[in-house]
Structure 1
Amino acid sequence: MIPWSLLDTTLIPGGGELRLLRRGDEFSIRLGGNELMNSRLGGSEEALATLAFARLTDRATAPTSGPRILIGGLGMGFTLRAALAALGPDAAIEVAELVPAVVAWARTEMAPVFGDSMADNRLTIIAGDVGEAIRAGKARYDAILLDVDNGPDGLSRTANDALYDAVGLRAACQALRQGGVLAVWSSGPDAAFTRRLRQAGFAVDQVPVRAMGKRGGARHLIWIAVRGS
């Protein structure tokens, strides 16, 4: 078997080190002994976009012009590429990524994975915390897609917990237009998080997904939460 080779390392704001590794045409991003992302396992991250946009277009208050989307976390770009494929030419997609090296990897070492997505004119990269973009975006977005850390039960950065607590969810609700969709990826279920979503003013569905899509893989969960009036 081809061994993994280390391509680069970078520090996470607040502590911790990410490592980018490659084995043949497969990439892996790891934190310590935990693999956070793998270029062959993007089915559930793609579903984060497709499920959100299906709900967005179903609702009575669907945008008549191009939707504005905020994605929290660039990762390996699965959610971004699914969004670009699903949305029309007048859409606007903002991706907030806290770790500058992750954006650099997308344009260099992992360019074979990202293809031409980083050059799409619908895309704006925000270098910073997605929480700041949410708090600044009063009724700005039609959908917010969060694939940050391990979901509500954080793994890589304690500060990410603020996205998923009661205050963070109220901010997300306020950043969405009426009928807007908050979609949240998680490695597993979290009943307390579901309750917080409802308390923040969302109508909530939980959708089980697989890491490799129709090919199976690990079981993940996506919350589709719609802002009420």
Structure 2
Amino acid sequence: MQRGAEFSIMLGRIELMNSRLSGSEEALATITRERLGERKRSRILIGGLGMGFTLRAALACFPDDAEITVAELVPAVVAWARGPMASIFGTSLDDPRVSIEIADVGKVIRSGRRFDAILLDVDNGPEGLTRQSNDRLYEIEGLVAALKALAPKGVLAVWSQGADPKFAQRLLKSGFAVDEVRVRANKGRSGARHTIWLASSPGN
């Protein structure tokens, strides 16, 4: 939906995202960059294109030699990014560091490729709304697959609309070291807070 310069992506009457609220999605990228530290040719996988907040933040904070893959399951989302929402995305989809794959991010994780970081902003977090199949990303099997897909001392960063103690426990059981961060949705000092889990893989 569009009202003036404001965009909203809805599931029925439920608002999944709004172009006015980008703080926590941007933090998903910036906090991950801080945790990774300096690395050459960082390989980043972003699950879910959405309105591109995480992608644009990643392009701003990762160096020019980074490789950023975005896996988006719904082709219409990519079409919106190149069509009615092009003013929001700017040139981010055409950045040479970026490749867009119309694919289930779970399949990309299981493809045998290795990543320094996997950033998941899929279906409002572990308690999914849109597709039951997304739950597999957040169960033990999916988390173990993500751990195997990460380089040593890599980071799995997961965005969620709210807290979920059971999910944090599943991360620990899957072999990750886990931190939980609460960040503002609107980048200000008030308003809703969202949750980001930063799960680190062991080093060699």
Structural mapping, 1:16-165, within 5 Å: 21-57=1-37, 63=39, 65-138=40-113, 140-165=114-139
Q: Which residue identity lines up with residue 91 of structure 1 in the other structure? A: A
CA shift digits 1:47-84 (9 cap, x unpaired): 00001110010xxxx53x21000000000000000000
Shift of the 22–66 alpha-carbon distance from structure 1 to 2, 3 Å rule, reads same
Alpha-carbon offset, residue 219 of structure 1: 1.3
Three-state SS of the structure 2 residue aligned to 1:201 is coil
Alpha-carbon offset, residue 215 of structure 1: 4.6
Three-state SS of the structure 1 residue aligned to 2:130 is coil
Alpha-carbon offset, residue 150 of structure 1: 1.1
Alpha-carbon offset, residue 214 of structure 1: 2.6
The match for 2:176 among 202, 223, 226 is 202
**Long gaps (5+) in structure 2:** none
Identity across the alignment (%): 63
Alpha-carbon offset, residue 137 of structure 1: 3.2
Tell me, yes or no, if structure 1 residue 170 matches structure 2 residue 144: yes
CA distance in 2, matches of 1:66, 1:178: 14
Runs of 4+ in 1 over 2 A off after TM superposition: 214-217
Q: Which residue identity lines up with residue 149 of structure 1 in the other structure? A: D
CA distance in 1, matches of 2:58, 2:101: 16
CA shift digits 1:77-116 (9 cap, x unpaired): 0000000000111100000000001001001100011011
**Long gaps (5+) in structure 1:** 1-20
**Cα RMSD (Å) of the superposition?**
0.9
Alpha-carbon offset, residue 198 of structure 1: 0.7
Residue-pair matches, total: 203
